[in-house]
Structure 1
Amino acid sequence: MKEDKRFLALEASAGSGKTSSLAVRFVALILDKQNGRYPIISNILAITFTNKAANEMKEKIIKTFLSPQNYELSDISALLEISVDEVKNRLKDRQSDFLSSELKIYTFDAFFAQILRQFSLNVGLLPDFSNGENLENLINQNLIKLLSKDEIKALARFILSANFKTAANFLEVAKQMSEYDIESFSSPAPSQSAVWQAYDELKKAALLVCEKKGVNAFNEVKNIKDFYKLLFDEKEAKTAKKAIDKCPFEKETLISALKAYYEGFCAHKISSFFKELKKYKKARTQAIKVKNAMDFSDVCAFVYELLRNEDKKFEPNELYFRLDGRIDDILIDEFQDTNARQFETLLPLIAEIFAGY
């Protein structure tokens, strides 16, 4: 098989035969003789999302190999650029190896769990950890233990100021965000002084040209949120708006000051969230190690850290040794359902494969 045919993405609508195409490709890889040698069947990895899909894929691959339809023979012939008769000959050559080999067809969860069990001690876990567990109550208890009374009050104020509906809503978002490697940063709360100074200048200029009934609109401005009504709400303060429009310099100065304030305010809220997220991640890690259990997103997160290998905990060859062989090809079914973390976790393995070409 030519190198440029080894790296492909198939785009098609649901029910159009992507899984069948993947099965044909899997079989073609088995038959792809290079320099007189066939590949090792167990070095071909196929991944999908559910156990049902994995079983269906395995069944389809077995049927395609043992009893291929004419169109499947033609597709394999085209992929390998050999005749259909040669495809049939190679199928016979490989039948014994195929029947005695383990087909590596996994769900994402099963594949990542297999890797983590091999290296669990490297991340402080025992190999018999259970996955699919719900640890939220223990995580929440750990989080409270990690925080002082003042920090609990600060967290409560943050939850309110960041417009989370409930503490549970904050914890759910924290759980989702904890799957990702996010660098925290510090951004202090912005000062409102520049905004009020710009407003005072606008008010002073506008009142010189304002009709009496427009004065009340300026007097109703009590906090920074009230500027929206005064500047942008078409139903409010129409007389005052006419006066404001006659002071374009002061109006633009206020709008610029508001923009700068809200940019700083958003940065402060995000930095505050990341600060709380760091504590949440610590509480989550503690719960996982106490219970030796985790949910599927945690498995993916641990494997991601492991395969990034920033602290050089293992060599890639050690990974392949523990997985009983290299991975030379990866086929992913329903790739559009892959989330960023799953893809990032596979990237080191994909990079290894690319390096071989």
Structure 2
Amino acid sequence: MKVLLIPDKFKGSLDAKEVIRAISEGVCQVHPGAEIFSVLASDGGDGFLNAVSENLNCTTTTVVTVDPLNRKMEAVYLFDNVTKTAYIELAKASGLELLKGAERDVMRTSSYGTGLQIRHAIENGATKIYLGLGGSATNDGGTGIAKALGYRFLDDLGHELEPVGGELSKIAKIEKKDVALDVTGISFHAVNDVNNPLYGKQGAAYVYAEQKGATSKEIQKLDKGLRHLEAIVKDQLKKNAAQLPGAGAAGGTAYGLNVFLNAEFISGIDFVLRLAKVNQLLSDHHFEYIITGEGKFDEQTLHGKLIKGVIDLGRQYQIPVIAICGQSDIDSAQSKSIGLEVILEIRDTAKSVQYSMDNAARLIRESIFSFFKSTLKK
């Protein structure tokens, strides 16, 4: 029996490697001789660097930068010396994980720290940059990154504004400083798997800002700021990218990468599966199941995240896909309609969510064991 594992992390509980280990143990309890293959994947969000380092020979580079609230810190990125390619995970310097709950203030956070990482990579010879988006603490439309690379955002009196979400509505002029970094000939790739536009009810602010600390009034202001940023960019830079699917990723960082750096949008899961040579693996072996999973299944799972990429892979190779999660808001009819064989939900409804998170590895192992034990009876 051969099984392919391509799970995401269970956020706040287990990373992808730990999920793979728990699933493997559950399968082997029923099928001791099972051949288990695994891919450490990412949709471009948290874990992006882990997925890259698993598949490419890169050097880890440490940079002095700043966190989302402009406090000095160190963050890492990966660099491939042969291809002169840098792989940067936005969450490492601009992530929500860097802030305590009381510090989450998306009106004041910036992607500037990630911009400093990009600048460092370019100054050290990078000609290609892949930026994994996701897990951001920001809603600045990518203006923080742009500032780090030489852009200035001025109000109507000519005063320079901080590149934060709360200041976007004040921008009257965008200019590049004489000392701006030359990015001619450098290709930028925004790696993510969300399809949100920049603004509107499905945009960056309305969908994601609440979890970054915004109140309902602040969400309206942030959305207004993103609309204003687009108007200024259209007028002064002659760029129109707000409605591109994915422009709203990471608080509009994807939009900023496109209009300020001409970045291409690419699918995170497709990118990582290509790095891992998964198609070759599926051609060389006959798998009875593909098992994927993540902490929570909801409507977002159905629209462009890692799980959907794995489902598409199973459909292409006609392999049943099992999904395991902490909690599912998707019913069995929906799961079948999107191509899943079954969703295994590990939570015990009689106990707290924290209990499930604390015991996730054991619960995953037991759930996988029960599923495969049941298949023996069929």
The two structures share one fold, judged by TM-score above 0.5: no
Higher relative contact order (CA 8 A, sep 6+): 1
Q: Which has the higher strand share?
A: 2
Instruction: Please give the range of the TM-score, normalised by the shorter of the 2 chains.
Output: 0.3 to 0.5
- TM-score, normalised to structure 2, is 0.31
Question: Which of the two has greater helix per residue?
Answer: 1
Answer with 1 or 2: which has the greater Rg: 1
